[in-house]
């Protein structure tokens, strides 16, 4: 069996914690179709040797992906994609994109340019996730993880 279809790469200037960058790269690869259910994620040893990062950071990222129901570990073999983000939520994604396009039209009408839109989105997203984290640090994750849990 060949290795993982994806390889990790870090952005040292992003300010995003390393484990979160790994989580996001897997999620993006799922949305974009680079990863499909059953695919193997990079082995911890390989990721660690490529990036010179702490193995516990990779393990933390994989635990987070398991919490979300996106991946599952097989003892002695590695971590594998359990559910595809894109196919499970494709109709939902289309709806979300439509809503976002409407919002962007409103923003343009209000005189916001692309930079201002990005700034508003980034700060709102930050407020949103900080508030959710403060309310229930564990609960939010579990709810999201539950739906995909039975897919394997």
Partner 1 sequence: MNILETEALGRRYGGTWALRDCSLAIPEGHLVALVGPNGAGKTTLLNILVGLTGATTGNVSVLGGIPVGSPAALDAIAFVAQDMPLYRHLTVADTLHLTRNLNHDFDGAYARARLRDLGIAEKHRAGKLSGGQQAQLALTLALARHPRLLVLDEPTAPLDPLARHDFMATVMAAMAEDGLSVILSSHGLAELERVADYLVLIAHGVVRLDAPVDDLVARHRVVTGPVGEQNDPRWQVVESTAAGAQQHLLVRLQGPNDHVPDGWESRAAGVEELALAYLRESSVPTPLVPVEASR
**Where does residue 70 rank: exposed (0-12), middle (13-18), buried (19+ CB within 10 A)?**
buried
- The reply on whether position 20 binds partner 1 by CB under 8 A is no
Interacting residue with partner 1 among 26, 51, 61, 81 (CB under 8 A): 51
Q: How far is the CB of 151 from partner 1 (least distance, A)?
A: 28
C-alpha–C-alpha distance, residues 79 and 65, integer Å: 10
Cβ pair 36, 51 in contact under 8 A? no
Cα radius of gyration rounded to whole Å, the chain: 17
Contact with partner 1 (CB under 8 A): which of 14, 28, 32, 56?
Answer: 56
Query: Phi-psi category of 87—alpha, beta or left, where left has phi over 0 and alpha has psi -120 to 50?
Result: alpha
3-class DSSP state for residue 10? coil
Applying CB under 8 A, the span of 46-54, 69-77, 90-98, 140-148 interacting with partner 1 comes to: 46-54
Closest to partner 1 by CB, 54 or 147: 54
Q: Which stretch binds partner 1 (CB under 8 A): 22-30, 54-62, 73-81, 106-114?
A: 54-62
Residue ranges binding partner 1 (CB under 8 A): 10, 15, 17-18, 44-45, 48-58, 134
């Amino acid at each position: 069996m060949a290795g993982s279809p994806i390889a990790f790469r870090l952005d040292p200037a992003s300010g995003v914690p390393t484990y979160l960058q790994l989580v996001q790269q897997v999620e993006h690869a799922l949305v974009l179709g680079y990863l499909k259910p059953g695919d193997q994620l990079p082995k911890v040893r390989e990721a660690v040797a490529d990036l010179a990062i702490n193995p516990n950071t990779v393990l933390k990222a994989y635990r987070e992906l398991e919490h979300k129901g996106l991946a599952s570990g097989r003892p002695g073999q590695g971590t594998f994609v359990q559910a595809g983000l894109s196919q499970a939520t494709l109709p939902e994604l289309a709806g979300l994109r439509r809503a976002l396009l409407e919002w962007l039209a409103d923003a343009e009408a209000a005189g916001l340019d692309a930079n201002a839109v990005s700034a508003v989105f980034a700060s709102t997203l930050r407020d949103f996730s900080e508030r959710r984290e403060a309310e229930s640090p564990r609960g939010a994750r579990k709810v999201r993880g539950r739906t995909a849990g039975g897919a394997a």
